[in-house]
Structure 1
Amino acid sequence: MKPSDLPLLSSVSRPTIHPDGTRAVTAVSRPDLVADRAVGQLWSVMLDGSGARRITRGVSDSSPRFSPDGSLLAFVRSPAEGPGQLHIMAAGGGEPLQVTDQKLGIGAWRWSPDSRTIAFTAAVAEEGRYGTVTNLGPSAEPPRRITTLKYRSNGFGYTSDRRRHVFLVEVPRVDGEPPYATAPSVQNPKPDIAAGVPEPRRLSDGDFDHGALAFSPDGSTIAVVSARHAERDLDLANDIFAIDLRTSADEVPTAIQVTGPNRRYGISSVEYGPGGELWFTGGDLGENGVDFVGRGEQLWISDVRGESARLLTDPATTDLDGELLVTAEGALVHALDRGRVHLLRISSDRTVSPIVTGDLEVHGTDAVEDVIVVSYTAPASMGELGLVASGGMHPLTDFSASLRNVGVTPLEELSVTARDGSEVHGWVLTPIDQEEPHPVLLVIHGGPFTQWGVSFFDEAQVYVDAGYAVVMCNPRGSAGYGEAHGRAIRQRMGTVDFTDVIDFLEGALARHPMLDGGRVGVMGGSYGGYLTAWTIANDHRFAGAIVERGYLDPEAFVGTSDIGSFFSDEYTGTDPRLMREQSPQALVGQVTTPTLVIHSEEDLRCPLSQGERFYAALKRNGVDTELLIFPGENHELSRSGRPRHRLQRFDAVLEWWARYLPSVANPGT
């Protein structure tokens, strides 16, 4: 794959199965260099394997769900300009009808069991901000008075003046008479323009955000995830609240807390079971509500009124991704496992049944009776749909065919014994049909509690196509290997994680004679930027380095990052001496490796100042260095930034390696 092949990266959403079990619908999206944005539409996929076809033509259509009665299909449509709004169309096709008109767009949403209403969340702007006053731009708004530690979020911005609230809207008839604009007259020269969008009922208020939603089986109650406790600004905990819909439409109903106070959860998803029991996924955050390091998400059930929820999975070995679908047989969940993500069914008695396993990563699931369809990625695919059957999982689509046509280099799985006897697991990619020894790139993932997986990874494919062997591993601190593995670097960053990546690199060099150990570079983003900066301060073998969107200065992180109120406290501690012992900025004087620093101007996760200070110190110390700043981008540049910026980033990366670590295919000038 070459950088210019970015438009071939087609990804698929969570599928929705029609209640008759004959077809599924998914959203297929890709970066488009002409539009300079992500574009995508909905596709209908026949479950008998007879094919797939595009059924919408919006700029960006996403998140499809069939109504429970099968008559309608709802989805989110994002126009060329403006936020995404909920739309519906007849299940058999037809022109979509807009259902919401929220100033800042909508978030989570769910159908009611009777298909007559839809619940959704939407950010509600404080009056005078975010375009609520015509012609009042952001620079002319009044000042913000901040009284909390948490008030911004990467990719979103300020949160305290636009809380996400819950709404309920009645579903209009798609075959009804359309609205018409009132023509001006002498008596009414400037009539209101009829939007034709139904007015929703607001179900929540207060200084709280609301997240995942679920309807009870009888449709009388909505469960919603929210943090309403007094200490919510000081911890990461949240709870499930029940909103009774059997109240007057003129009043905001009272939300009753369902979970807690016996445990502090970090809840990401919630579902009702057929019997009215509540299932949810989330982490146990300990007594202080912030003990999140290395704690994977777990599955819980609340099925006895007045008693605490029961834990159904083992935190020592299980790490879920937060996705949840409840059926009559139990919960369908996604479990991270050594670079894979598998589909499991877990019953209320803790029985675990593998449903989809193998060399793939499941990202979305839907089920209708005994029919299960998943969206997944694989070593040679950015996203497909598959039907789960008795003989295993059978692919239904081939959206990545054009990607394979330009060339996909296979992964070689590798395990290396670290210096202390632990296993370090990962992968190696090597250029195909190249006889000379390959220069090597050690690529470190972010997180740190994430994992390199078996799926197609555009960055690795671009680098191997440019003539580099790519070495990637999941050192201690990564997800997918159990809780002890994930928590091993808590307040010990730069210790076993550093030695693990070095030991894996040396193991790969020892086993592959075509890997040139005398020509090695290192790179990584976010936590990967941290460990790259740490590595070049402690190991001087590298011909060059790229530190991207890095967590580089734990002390300066607090008070500047959107997660600064807790991330450094938990990962590097609060003692100044301990923090400096784990700080790449404190060791920057030891760096001699030529280093490219890449950062985004609107990064609120690892603020631009993290990269600027590191770059300035390198520059003052005489190290060959450059700082590349992307305007208008946030922490997600490499994954979901503007396509042209993503292409320019790849070009800059390859130019840097051509300069300091040239290859046969990337020789430079």
Structure 2
Amino acid sequence: MQAADLPLVRTVSRPAVHPDGTWAVVSVTRPDLDADATVGQLWRVPLAAATMPAVTPSGDLALAAPTGRTPAPRRLTRGFRDTEPRFSPDGALVAFLRAEPQAAPQLWVLPVGGGEAVQITERQLGVTDFRWSPDGTRLAFLSREPEPGRYGSVEGIAPAAEEPRRITSWSWTRNGLGYHRDRPQHAYVVDVPDVAAEPVVQPVATPQGPAEPRPAVPEPRRVTTHDVDHSALAFTPDGAALGVVAAREQGPGQVGTGTVRVLPLTGSGGGGSDVDLGTLGPQAIAFGAGGELYVVAQDLGPEGKDFVARNAALYVLSAWADQQPRRLTDPETQTVGGEPLPLDDGGVLLALETRGTQHVVHVADDGVTTQLTSGDVVVSGFGVGGGTLAVSYADPGTYGEVGVVEAGAAASASATGEGGLRRVTDFSAPLRAAGVVTPKELVVTGRDGYPVHGWVAVPEGTGQHPTLLMIHGGPYASYTTALFDETQVLVDAGYAVVYCNPRGSAGYGQAHGRAIRQAMGTVDLHDVLDFLDGAVAADGRLDGSRVGVLGGSYGGYLTAWTIAHDHRFAGAIVERGFLDPEVFFGTSDIGSFFGLEYVGETPEQVAAQSPQAVVGQVRTPTLVLHSELDLRCPLSQAERYYSALKRNGVDTELVVFPGENHELSRSGRPRHRKQRFEVILDWWQRHLPVG
């Protein structure tokens, strides 16, 4: 894979499975270099014994079905960017989000029996999420409500002419969004219109004067009242109330979290009940068929600060109004997450992260956990309908596909043991045709006897290759077995790539993740260097005398820390790094709590773990990459680090991408993503040339 192949990277959404279980709808999106935007549509995917779609010479997916009784997936919509499909309970409609160029996403519904999609909302700042009511007559959705005079709510008032902001809280911005307290996210409910009715036609003027315009979309009703951000929508089984997570005010050093609130939808409105979760920070909620409330939440401790490598767990409340939550999963050993999907016969489906993979598990109401998928897959979403469990997933040869869990009782989760996964799409075929390499799994025993798990990707052919040590962000995140564009582009350019999940990473238990709490740059540094040495020793194709190191976010931190303490590297790339913990406080959107728990509070603790404090020890040529609008690791982190390198006479460059935030490499403008790869490859060609 080369940088120019980015348009072949297709991402597949969570599948919406039709109630009859025979087909699903997914959104398939991709970067488009011509449009300089992410584009995509909804696809209809047959689930019963499907055959693979063909690939045309141009790399497009053929729409004609290959030989076989089951047709290939086919495009269902033709919008600019259609995402997040969800079936109505009766399966007659698909609701989804549609975004036009330079416009915010709006909510639409599409009749599955044929006909055009009907627009449901016309929100100034768009719609971010939604859910069907149990009877299918209403949709609840989330949308930001701007203060009057801000964000274009009053024509003629530009951003620079808005009134000043008064800030009294600990947090006021979010990466990728900017200021958020003056545009809180509220929950709304809207009636689903008759999609077979006459379309709205606007009247024209008469000699008596202009005509009164007719409303083109139904009027929604706001059901949340507090001006804070709301998330995690869930209808009660009878549809009489709506559950949400309402943001809670942060205290000094506390993590931003929320309160589960259940809001009545009948009567005069207003009111609502808060669910007592104690020290738990809720992330996702769902109601079971019997009215029980399932909550995925993180225990932040009595002070609300203890977030480092604290896994979320699944909790259940049988009667949510007056009971304490009962924990169903073990956060010490199980890394669960995502939105819980309740099943009719009890329990829920969840995602379980482990050792670079992610699987679907069923968690029963007694806490018994059954894994339903297996192997080197990363399941990103799942849906159930008509006894069929479908998942979206990636693996070493695919960026995003749809598969069916092959177990007779998997959808009801009454089967025991692991279920097989049958792939029913091949959206990544054009990418594989462009050329991908399958990394090899490796475990290296570190200097203190600790096992370090990771992968090695080597270019095809003979001879030794310059080797790059790549370090992930987080730090409580992980590299996975899924096809990864970063690795593939570097390998295609002729580099061997070594990457692992050192202590501090997720998916190996809390003790593994908490090993670097207020000890960053200690055992994690040992782990990545020991893994590099072990990989070079295990594979003669890796040239240990020609090595480079790179990483982003926490990976940028550990890269900067590494080159201050180890001078073997011909070059380094420090990207969007957490580089100056002292300045991080008060500038980052998570600066009020992140550094306090990860590096500590005293000046001595901070200096002992700060790359900026040891920048004078760096001799390695270093490229500093950053984004202009990064609010997670603000641009000042890169500017101070680069300036210190420059002052000290280190060969260095600073590259800043305008208009981008912390997510440039994952969801930035396609042309910037391609240019980023070109900048990286140019740096390595100058400082660690192939051949």
Instruction: Give the TM-score taking structure 2 as reference length.
Output: 0.94
In 2: Cα distance, 1:438 partner to 1:203 partner: 60
In 2: Cα distance, 1:353 partner to 1:157 partner: 41
Q: Confirm whether residue 324 of structure 1 aligns to residue 344 of structure 2.
A: no
Corresponding residue for residue 571 of structure 1: 598
1:203 to 203, 212, 223: 223
CA contact (8 A) 2:328 2:365 kept: yes
Q: Residues 176-195 of structure 1 correspond to what in structure 2 (within 5 A)? A: 176-189=197-210, 191-195=211-215
Q: CA deviation at 1:232?
A: 9.5
Letter in 2 for 1:322: G
Q: Unpaired runs of 5+ in structure 1?
A: 665-669
Corresponding residue for residue 4 of structure 1: 4
CA contact (8 A) 1:284 1:295 kept: yes
Corresponding residue for residue 16 of structure 1: 16
In 2: Cα distance, 1:186 partner to 1:227 partner: 53
Secondary structure of 1:402's aligned partner: helix
Q: CA deviation at 1:234?
A: 4.1
Q: Residues 403-422 of structure 1 correspond to what in structure 2 (within 5 A)? A: 403-422=431-450
Letter in 2 for 1:52: P
After superposition, the C-alpha distances for 1:367-407 in whole angstroms (9 at most, x for unaligned) are 12521000001101110000112261100100000011011
Q: CA deviation at 1:227?
A: 2.5
Question: Mean Cα displacement is larger for which, 6-15 or 47-56?
Answer: 47-56
CA contact (8 A) 1:236 1:290 kept: no
Q: Unpaired runs of 5+ in structure 2?
A: 51-69, 408-418
Secondary structure of 2:323's aligned partner: coil
In 1: Cα distance, 2:554 partner to 2:91 partner: 45
1:293 to 304, 308, 329: 308
Secondary structure of 2:164's aligned partner: coil
Letter in 2 for 1:4: A
Corresponding residue for residue 363 of structure 2: 346
Corresponding residue for residue 379 of structure 2: 362
CA contact (8 A) 1:241 1:259 kept: no
In 2: Cα distance, 1:96 partner to 1:258 partner: 38
1:423 to 451, 471, 476: 451
CA contact (8 A) 1:148 1:233 kept: no
Corresponding residue for residue 81 of structure 1: 102
Q: Residues 118-137 of structure 1 correspond to what in structure 2 (within 5 A)? A: 118-137=139-158
CA contact (8 A) 1:66 1:91 kept: no
Letter in 1 for 2:217: V
After superposition, the C-alpha distances for 1:235-274 in whole angstroms (9 at most, x for unaligned) are 43322110011222xx4x21210132xx222222111011
Question: Mean Cα displacement is larger for which, 53-62 or 281-290?
Answer: 281-290
Q: CA deviation at 1:230?
A: 7.7
Q: CA deviation at 1:320?
A: 1.3
Corresponding residue for residue 242 of structure 1: 262
Question: Mean Cα displacement is larger for which, 89-98 or 560-569?
Answer: 89-98
After superposition, the C-alpha distances for 1:505-538 in whole angstroms (9 at most, x for unaligned) are 1111111111111100000000000000000000
Letter in 2 for 1:512: D
Corresponding residue for residue 411 of structure 2: none
Q: Confirm whether residue 616 of structure 1 aligns to residue 643 of structure 2.
A: yes
Corresponding residue for residue 596 of structure 1: 623
In 1: Cα distance, 2:385 partner to 2:315 partner: 22
CA contact (8 A) 2:250 2:256 kept: no
User: How many percent of aligned residue pairs carry the same amino acid?
Assistant: 53
Letter in 1 for 2:686: R
Q: Residues 550-569 of structure 1 correspond to what in structure 2 (within 5 A)? A: 550-569=577-596
Letter in 1 for 2:304: G
Letter in 1 for 2:492: D
Q: Confirm whether residue 580 of structure 1 aligns to residue 607 of structure 2.
A: yes
In 2: Cα distance, 1:269 partner to 1:467 partner: 43
Q: CA deviation at 1:329?
A: 3.4
In 2: Cα distance, 1:304 partner to 1:178 partner: 44
Q: Residues 143-162 of structure 1 correspond to what in structure 2 (within 5 A)? A: 143-162=164-183
Question: Mean Cα displacement is larger for which, 226-235 or 608-617?
Answer: 226-235
Q: Confirm whether residue 372 of structure 1 aligns to residue 398 of structure 2.
A: no
After superposition, the C-alpha distances for 1:533-562 in whole angstroms (9 at most, x for unaligned) are 000000000000000000000010011000
1:256 to 273, 280, 295: 273
Q: CA deviation at 1:70?
A: 1.2
CA contact (8 A) 2:573 2:623 kept: yes
Q: Residues 449-464 of structure 1 correspond to what in structure 2 (within 5 A)? A: 449-464=476-491
1:275 to 283, 287, 290: 290
After superposition, the C-alpha distances for 1:139-174 in whole angstroms (9 at most, x for unaligned) are 111111111111100001101100011110000011
Letter in 2 for 1:17: V
Q: CA deviation at 1:93?
A: 3.1
2:538 to 511, 522, 526: 511
CA contact (8 A) 1:237 1:290 kept: no
Q: Residues 643-654 of structure 1 correspond to what in structure 2 (within 5 A)? A: 643-654=670-681
Instruction: Give the TM-score taking structure 1 as reference length.
Output: 0.97
Corresponding residue for residue 401 of structure 2: 384
Q: CA deviation at 1:322?
A: 2.3
1:394 to 419, 422, 426: 422
CA contact (8 A) 1:149 1:234 kept: no
Q: Residues 468-487 of structure 1 correspond to what in structure 2 (within 5 A)? A: 468-487=495-514
CA contact (8 A) 2:293 2:319 kept: no
Corresponding residue for residue 467 of structure 1: 494
1:226 to 236, 246, 256: 246
In 1: Cα distance, 2:257 partner to 2:144 partner: 20
Corresponding residue for residue 308 of structure 1: 324
In 1: Cα distance, 2:312 partner to 2:526 partner: 27
Corresponding residue for residue 34 of structure 1: 34
Q: CA deviation at 1:616?
A: 0.3
* 44 and 294 in structure 1: CA distance in 2 versus 1, 3 angstrom threshold: same
CA contact (8 A) 2:316 2:326 kept: yes
Secondary structure of 2:184's aligned partner: strand
Letter in 2 for 1:133: V
Cα RMSD after superposing both structures: 1.3
Corresponding residue for residue 666 of structure 2: 639
In 2: Cα distance, 1:13 partner to 1:235 partner: 29
After superposition, the C-alpha distances for 1:599-642 in whole angstroms (9 at most, x for unaligned) are 00000000000000000000010000000000000000000000
Corresponding residue for residue 527 of structure 1: 554
Secondary structure of 1:227's aligned partner: strand
Q: CA deviation at 1:231?
A: 4.5
Letter in 1 for 2:626: H
Question: Mean Cα displacement is larger for which, 363-372 or 31-40?
Answer: 363-372
In 2: Cα distance, 1:470 partner to 1:404 partner: 19
